Amino acid sequence: MLKAGLLGIRGSGRTSVFDTLAHGNAFQADGTGRFTARATHLRPRDTRLERLAEIGRSRKTTRTVLELIDYEGVGLGDRGGRQSEWINSLQSLDLLVLVLPLFLHSDSTTGIVQSLDETFAELILADLQMVENRCARIEEEFKRAGRAERSVLEEEESLFLRLRETLESGHPLNALALSTHESHRVRSFGFMTLKPLCFILNTSDNNVPAWASLQKTCSEKTRVATHSVVGFSAAIEFEATELPSAEREEIMNDIGIASAPVTRISQALTQTAMHLTVYTVGENEARAWSIPNGSCAIDFAATIHTDFAKRFIRAETVAFDQLNTAGSLVEAKKQGVVRQEGRDYEVKDGDVMEVLFSK
């Protein structure tokens, strides 16, 4: 399950975004005495899954799940012990969701650039702090190390000095082309500027028509490879969640908001984290699975069950669109669109798969 944390300066609207998406379903997540954290599980509506349940006459449907976390009592820009404990707890997240408080700025274009720069500077600073701590510890360890250990530490130090130089010149670590070996070395640090980022432009109602151009500006200003920008109005969308659904859709259409907040944000998070959705369909259950881009059939089998991967034979695979057109698996087979794929087949978004394994 992908885990995403809401970040932003104090008062940027993180809790409003969280409450809109959680819709009353929140639970206490881990925090420390210095800050608390609430989490919610987002289960986005998926029209492909609904259609598959119809085709497969499935008794139930299971959507993908994303965990979203809101931190209370701490924010970007804070200083001191609380901040560093918080940053430590962010290390395990798969992606960061940065809330930019556009509603606080009257001139939105200048406002967005300013918010973005401030937020970015904070992330760079957080990483710099971690790099400096590690550099100091390397020096300590070096004094006590034997010859063999020293050469390992020297290698690590030269890598960390490169990280420090990049951050000190105001660039995210993503700007560095790290080798696979280097990426592996730094993985456990969970650096903020190496994580995929999703920006939420928290704007007020009269800004909705300007979302598209603001999203573009924000994208151009962002120097990380994996990011996305979503327009959101915590104020209006929260009120709208309280309305009956027909009325809600009418109001949202009038303002120009295309789909429900959970769907919009979940799609953006899934894409930013570079995950795709694959389906399994049976009489018992039609289910959507979120797996990393580039996964092979064997990885998908392991996601379902480790035993499936161990005893993998092949995966019967059909693209959603082809199954949808055919209307049933039997018809899809007649049309010859159901493929038999081996363990190294690279899974595509929308594949409907049945893993066959030895008994």
Ligand X SMILES: Nc1nc2c(ncn2[C@@H]2O[C@H](COP(=O)(O)OP(=O)(O)OP(=O)(O)O)[C@@H](O)[C@H]2O)c(=O)[nH]1
Which residues sit at the interface with ligand X, rule CB under 6 A? Answer: 8, 10-16, 72, 75, 103, 202, 204, 233-235
Q: Which is nearer to ligand X, 103 or 300 (CB)?
A: 103
Give CA–CA dist 45/277, Å, rounded.
13
Taking CA atoms, 116 is separated from 82, 164, 278, 296, in Å, by: 23, 21, 34, 36
Q: Which is nearer to ligand X, 175 or 236 (CB)?
A: 236
Single out the residue of 128, 127, 102 nearest to residue 116, CA to CA.
102
- For residue 12, state whether it binds Mg ion (rule: CB under 5 A): no
Residue 317 partner contact from ligand X, Mg ion, none using kind-dependent CB cut-offs of 5 to 8 Å? none
Number of residues that bind Mg ion (CB under 5 A): 2
Residue 220 partner contact from ligand X, Mg ion, none using kind-dependent CB cut-offs of 5 to 8 Å? none
Residue 305 partner contact from Mg ion, ligand X, none using kind-dependent CB cut-offs of 5 to 8 Å? none
Residue 234 partner contact from ligand X, Mg ion, none using kind-dependent CB cut-offs of 5 to 8 Å? ligand X
**Considering the complex, what minimum distance in angstroms separates the CB of residue 7 from Mg ion?**
11
Q: Which two tokens stand for residue 54?
A: 């119809």
Residue 222 partner contact from ligand X, Mg ion, none using kind-dependent CB cut-offs of 5 to 8 Å? none
Q: Which is nearer to ligand X, 78 or 141 (CB)?
A: 78
User: Do 46 and 26 contact (CB within 8 A), yes or no?
Assistant: no
End-to-end, the C-alpha distance of the chain in Å comes to 28
Q: Which is nearer to ligand X, 19 or 285 (CB)?
A: 19
Single out the residue of 19, 115, 1 nearest to residue 70, CA to CA.
19
Residue 11 partner contact from ligand X, Mg ion, none using kind-dependent CB cut-offs of 5 to 8 Å? ligand X
Residue type, 179: S
Interface residue with Mg ion among 12, 15, 40, 203 (CB under 5 A) is 15
Q: Which two tokens stand for residue 38?
A: 């609430």
**Considering the complex, what minimum distance in angstroms separates the CB of residue 39 from Mg ion?**
14
At residue 255, the 3 state secondary structure works out as helix
How does 132-146 read in b/e, with b if 16+ C-beta sit within 10 Å?
eebeeebeeeeeeee
Q: Which is nearer to ligand X, 141 or 205 (CB)?
A: 205
Q: Which two tokens stand for residue 148?
A: 């063999």
**Considering the complex, what minimum distance in angstroms separates the CB of residue 14 from Mg ion?**
5
Of 13-21, 30-38, 39-47, 347-355, which part binds Mg ion (CB under 5 A)? 13-21
**Considering the complex, what minimum distance in angstroms separates the CB of residue 10 from Mg ion?**
8
CB under 8 Å to 154, separation ≥6 — which residues?
A: 142
Of 6-14, 231-239, 283-291, 299-307, which part binds Mg ion (CB under 5 A)? 6-14
Give CA–CA dist 5/7, Å, rounded.
6
**Considering the complex, what minimum distance in angstroms separates the CB of residue 236 from Mg ion?**
18
Residue 204 partner contact from ligand X, Mg ion, none using kind-dependent CB cut-offs of 5 to 8 Å? ligand X
CB under 8 Å to 276, separation ≥6 — which residues?
A: 270, 290, 291, 292, 293, 295, 347, 348, 349, 350
Residue type, 52: L
**Considering the complex, what minimum distance in angstroms separates the CB of residue 101 from ligand X?**
7
Q: Which two tokens stand for residue 205?
A: 């109602």
Q: Which is nearer to Mg ion, 10 or 223 (CB)?
A: 10
Residue 193 partner contact from Mg ion, ligand X, none using kind-dependent CB cut-offs of 5 to 8 Å? none
At residue 128, the 3 state secondary structure works out as helix
Residues that bind Mg ion (CB under 5 A): 14-15
